[in-house]
Structure 1
């Protein structure tokens, strides 16, 4: 009885994991921030969570050891090639609202409503069809393609002291699918032996 229940549960989990999401997707992007363009010992991390159903973008960042004091921070998009190059600012200018300015270390956590023009750089909206929905689509595509980065600017490096391209970490969903499929294989072998 337990084997049958376990088999059904694992099969349901596997089907759930491989079925396409019909309504919403929440994608988490991470970045390690470093001074690739400016000679900086500063470091940081960023997590950006995009929710296409709620049309939100949560930005979390932590940074320390900057040579200069912060003057701005935002997301740039979309570079010509994944994980390299530079691009214009997509999000708020001159800086994220509430980002700690005038400091060499700090943390930040803010969720932006992408249906509001105030969440965007007006130039990014114009360059991407002139509508908030087209700007959101362009940013979502840039994030998914590895063509967006979070940049922290300082008075030491006005063009950006530390930055990092936003990428999806190793997919946990694939790991869960693998576990479910292994479980199904174990249950199937146990049935054949019985």
Structure 2
């Protein structure tokens, strides 16, 4: 196998790794500052920029007080640390269950609508346009600079949160499974030729 073929296989794997699905585990330990909440949760975000859809699925339980708001913050200065302003609609997601300590939520937003976004996010990160906000949000998600935050009466600044991380598409694993042995074999053959 040539170096070009190996590079092509790895390139295809990397291309399909540009996931539009992101996930996080939510906890008080990830809050800034951390808190001792026994609350936990999970979130899956599917962001399709071409279709202008943002689907958010959240499950949470064990909060110390009733929910007051939920949204996604973006973009922190460094991945997986710090705080950022709210990127999505204010004061909370449409239809999010409020005043509860456990629950589920699923909603699909139209990201071509200004109402989906915090106006400050459109201005400060999107260059004043919704398309810019979509691009900045996708970059923040991909770089680990966006987090879902659940705010409660116990912790108005956020009781549990989690930084969203890309979920590789199944095709990525298949390409890597097929490509890795080929790349290793090529490297082995090249090493034998040098000896």
CA distance in 1 between partners of 2:88 and 2:117 (Å): 4
Are 1:28 and 2:21 an aligned pair? yes
Shift of 1:180: 3.4
Shift of 1:126: 1.4
RMSD across aligned positions (CA)? 2.3
Equivalent of 2:69 in 68, 72, 76: 72
Q: Which residue of structure 2 lines up, in the alignment, with residue 105 of structure 1?
A: 102
Offset from partner CA, 1:92-151 (integer Å, 9 cap, x none): 110000000000000000011110011011111111211111111111110010000000
Q: 1:175 to 1:26 in 2, by over 3 A?
A: closer
Q: 1:63 to 1:146 in 2, by over 3 A?
A: same
Offset from partner CA, 1:27-85 (integer Å, 9 cap, x none): 11000000022220000000001112101111000000000100000000000000011
TM-score relative to the length of structure 1:
0.79
| SS of aligned partner of 2:76 | coil
Give the 5 Å matches for 1:106-121.
106-121=103-118
- State which drifts further: 50-59 or 171-180: 171-180
CA distance in 1 between partners of 2:92 and 2:72 (Å): 9
How many residue pairs were aligned? 169
CA distance in 2 between partners of 1:65 and 1:72 (Å): 16
CA distance in 2 between partners of 1:164 and 1:68 (Å): 18
TM-score relative to the length of structure 2:
0.79
Are 1:125 and 2:122 an aligned pair? yes
Give the 5 Å matches for 1:2-21.
17-18=12-13
| SS of aligned partner of 2:20 | strand
Q: 1:64 to 1:26 in 2, by over 3 A?
A: same
Shift of 1:179: 3.4
Give the 5 Å matches for 1:84-163.
84-128=81-125, 129-163=127-161
Q: Which residue of structure 2 lines up, in the alignment, with residue 5 of structure 1?
A: none
Bigger Rg, structure 1 or 2: 1
2:61–2:101 CA contact under 8 A, matched in 1: yes
In structure 1, the gaps of 5 or more residues are 1-13, 186-194
